[in-house]
Amino acid sequence: MRERAGSRPGGGPWRATAKPDAGPPAEPAPRPGHSAPDATASADRAAPAASRHADHPVLRVSWLPGLTPYEPAWRLQERLARARGEGRLPDLFLLLQHPPVYTVGRSGRDDEILLDPDARRRLGVQVFHIDRGGKVTYHGPGQLVGYGIVDLKNLPGGLKRYVHGLEEALVATLARFGIAAHREDGNVGVWVGREKIAAIGIRVSRGITWHGFALNVAPDLAFFGGIIPCGITDRGVTSMARLLGHAPPLEQVARVAAEELARVLDRQLEWVSDPGWLSAWGGVPESPDLRKVEVRS
């Protein structure tokens, strides 16, 4: 999907996409520059829901502050998925940000990366060929990435219901910030009008999911001009910051998303803001200085 917005990284401007049409009504969307509905107050109202589901399985959602390098996070998912399959962990999500990377899924092609190696090196963008479904996408600062380690054997409806659940949770999250978004049959992800605001790509191994979603909170949208995201060339990309006129705090968005994920998966939310528990599974490295990120061509 060639999602054009802003300037092409390392080059001239792309042709701008049209302003997205209004999606189906959820909650009234604020005009740019005006305040969205109070998501914090909404989060407070939703918090008691976990106690109403005290007899339900736990969904552990772990917030990782700063920037998490891509490859160690990928390997960490592998270890967590193995532990989940052995029953040593509950279903869980890691919510985090990455330094700039392009990831190529199992059906992606190198020629869907339009940014040449020299430009990628100059901009500090890494490229990873990975084991999720889907094609090419971008991750970077200002984007909320959610990695779900979920046992589908315990989820009625299996993979299809899980993917729809991710879409539903993200649509509900955006509604709590005053953005009317929707899912589309045949186009996995979450959309505002004709522009994509969240991508989804999953791997399943022995009934356990890896990878997950990427929600554009306030990333540099120009990086999407360096790829053909999702293999689609005729639609655009957008972000919460672009639609609202300001960037909501990423951790606040993460907390709301966690509540909505627990709701759609019918789980009791266990929110963890200290990533120290991950040390038992290899831990997460310190956030890198973007100027020192190792670049792969």
Q: Which residues are catalytic?
A: 230
Secondary structure percentages of the chain, helix, strand, coil, to 5: 35, 25, 40
The string of DSSP codes covering 103-153 is EE-TT--GGGB-S-HHHHHHHT-EEEE-SSSSSEEEE-TTEEEEEEE-BGG
Tell me whether residue 47 is annotated as binding: no
Tell me whether residue 113 is annotated as binding: no
Token couple for 64: 């990782």
Tell me whether residue 212 is annotated as binding: yes
Cα separation, 281 vs 77, whole angstroms = 9
Cα separation, 103 vs 137, whole angstroms = 6
Tell me whether residue 137 is annotated as binding: yes
Tell me whether residue 139 is annotated as binding: yes
Tell me whether residue 128 is annotated as binding: no
How many CB atoms are located within 10 Å of the residue 246 CB? 14
Tell me whether residue 6 is annotated as binding: no
Tell me whether residue 147 is annotated as binding: no
List Cα–Cα distances, 134 to 107, 130, 230, in angstroms: 6, 10, 7
Tell me whether residue 93 is annotated as binding: no
Query: Binding-site residues for substrate, please?
Result: 132-139, 199-201, 212-214
Query: Binding-site residues, please?
Result: 132-139, 199-201, 212-214
